[in-house]
Amino acid sequence: MISTEKKIDIYLLSFLTNVYLRSVIKIVIIGSGNIAYHLCSALQNKEGVSIVQRYRRHSKNDLKFDENIEVTGQLNNLAKADLYIIAVADDVITQVSLELNIKNGLVVHTSGSRSIEDLKCQTCKGVFYPVQTFSMDKIIDFKEVPIAIEAENDNDLNLLSTLAHQLSPKVHLVNSEQRQKLHISAVFAHNFSNHMYTIAKELCDQYNIDFSILYPLIDESVSKFKILGPKAAQTGPARRHDLSIIKKHIDQLNNSKKNIYIELSNSILKYYNH
Amino acid sequence: MISTEKKIDIYLLSFLTNVYLRSVIKIVIIGSGNIAYHLCSALQNKEGVSIVQRYRRHSKNDLKFDENIEVTGQLNNLAKADLYIIAVADDVITQVSLELNIKNGLVVHTSGSRSIEDLKCQTCKGVFYPVQTFSMDKIIDFKEVPIAIEAENDNDLNLLSTLAHQLSPKVHLVNSEQRQKLHISAVFAHNFSNHMYTIAKELCDQYNIDFSILYPLIDESVSKFKILGPKAAQTGPARRHDLSIIKKHIDQLNNSKKNIYIELSNSILKYYNH
């Protein structure tokens, strides 16, 4: 995704010029959900970064945020900043960007599924997408979080890259089209695989089997595909074309579990040219 | 899966009587594949265990096995032992068990998908199923491997439990019906989730995106479902009933990827009562 030139660019931008680290990046964070909270916590004490304000519609999560950060409920009256991070639900990003009453500074959203064009503000736009799942009550080590950034010009890319590198060494230039595909990819790798665990647990519960018996297998599965690649790491009845076991399994399942078993087994059989 | 009485039983059997540890469990291992190899390696230097012989049809993997273990290619002429572990491909377990020419000792297979009844030998039967995926060239820490055991009587269960505890503290009594369900469950949790990674990687490759960007998300996903349970840990477009994103994703997929996306999204929508 990052060409060699772009890679050199981004290193030059962040490590040589360091223009934004010599001054301070002033940030307003918009939103009070999981991402807003984790970004506030992670950025707050970083050198060269100052969260000058945060906006939230309602005070529900106020106690969770650091009380030292200035809070506002007025979207059309935000503090002056270099960067406005819109960390709200995907379906209100455009609406929030329309309501912003700012003339200067860079506005970014944090969404994997939305284009940079979904921002309808009058100033420069970008994307700052931490590729991770966040919950309020689970600490995240941001050093391990890849951050996908996009901007309309090199200056803004520089600012986002500098900021992202303050959080994590894993900074990637990803344009809106790539990010959409990355998001679909994440649905398979993250959401759908979790649904596989849900079905697996249901089956175990149904027959009074402790689901945690499968934890080491699941761990090994993840560790293995990282070494071999998932295609080569594939095992199981469909991979070895064991139609008698597949049939036996299908006979024991019903409804949507049966359909999923058939759909995925067919896909694996086809994928490995059986 | 293990009732309290059974739990007490199994502890009493393995930690109090220790009848098999006072003597030595003599073992013949049948097979030369991944499980046979890892069992040989793991059991070889355990106190109270002696691998008196191993049988293999062909010499292909001989160099990988310890040369100090006696080898035979004659299935009808095995050494005397307390335990014969048949670690061969599922579809030849019955055939191998028929060819055994032994009158004493316990015969077990190591398969998740086969019933204890698939053993057709004339002596006592059991199952010794390590719930893990094995490759020749990847070291496995057996202490982390759950072992599901089954036998026809308490004496044999005691022997298997004693042996299993030599390898791992995670020993479970699992009957043949439960083991079949556990195996289906493993197909979902292990094989199908790996296929999700395969599809995710294909999408990334197609758009020149580094698939490893998703590794921390996948790691967090696995770590999260263990804490919350997979049902509660579910996120994504289908979980939050975001039909517009689902439609957008479906429009960008084709063939089997599209069908899988639809099937799994429908299953999640239905599962969470949307």
The per-residue DSSP string of B1-56 comes to: ---HHHHHHHHIIIIII-HHHHS-EEEEEE--SHHHHHHHHHHTT-TTEEEEEEE-
Minimum Cα–Cα distance from B206: chain A residue = A181
What residues in B contact A178, CB-CB < 8 Å? 207-209
Q: Are A51 and A27 in contact (CB under 8 A)?
A: yes
The string of pLDDT tens digits covering residues A230-258 is 999 999 999 999 999 999 999 999 889 99
Q: Report CB contact under 8 Å: B192, A226.
A: no
pTM: 0.87
Selected residues 70-99 of chain A with any CB under 8 Å from a CB in chain B = 90-91
What residues in A contact B210, CB-CB < 8 Å? 1-2, 172
How buried is B128 (Cβ within 10 angstroms: 0-12 exposed, 13-18 middle, 19+ buried)? buried
Instruction: Return the exposure string of A5-43: e unless at least 16 CB atoms fall within 10 Å of the residue's CB, then b.
Output: eeeebbeebbeeeeebbeeebbbbbbbbbbbbbbbbebb
Collapse the DSSP code of B128 into the 3-class scheme (helix H, G, I; strand E, B; otherwise coil) and give the result: strand
Query: Is A196 at the interface with chain B, CB within 8 A?
Result: yes
Distance CA B48, CA B21 (A): 5
* A187, A224, A242 member nearest B249 (Cβ): A187
Q: Report CB contact under 8 Å: A196, B193.
A: yes
What is the full per-residue pLDDT of chain B (274 aa) written as tens digits? 545 555 555 555 555 445 544 589 999 999 999 999 999 999 998 999 999 999 999 999 999 999 999 999 999 889 999 999 999 999 999 999 999 989 999 999 999 989 999 999 999 999 999 999 988 888 889 999 999 999 999 999 999 999 999 999 999 999 999 999 999 999 999 999 999 999 999 999 999 999 999 999 999 999 999 999 999 999 999 999 999 999 999 999 988 999 999 999 999 999 998 7
Q: Report CB contact under 8 Å: B188, A196.
A: yes
* B131, B189, B203 member nearest A184 (Cβ): B203
Minimum Cα–Cα distance from B176: chain A residue = A207
Q: Are B27 and B52 in contact (CB under 8 A)?
A: yes
In the block, which residue shows the tokens 């004339």?
B122
Query: Is B256 at the interface with chain A, CB within 8 A?
Result: yes
Query: Is B182 at the interface with chain A, CB within 8 A?
Result: yes
User: pLDDT at residue A192 above 80?
Assistant: yes
Q: Report CB contact under 8 Å: A236, B187.
A: yes
What residues in B contact A144, CB-CB < 8 Å? 216, 219
CB atoms within 10 A of CB A205: 12
Query: Is B148 at the interface with chain A, CB within 8 A?
Result: yes
Query: Is A33 at the interface with chain B, CB within 8 A?
Result: no
User: How many residue pairs from chains A and B have C-beta atoms closer than 8 A?
Assistant: 304
Query: Is A263 at the interface with chain B, CB within 8 A?
Result: yes
CA B194 to each of CA A205, A259, B136: distance values in angstroms, whole numbers, following the listed order: 22, 18, 19
Q: Report CB contact under 8 Å: A216, B144.
A: yes
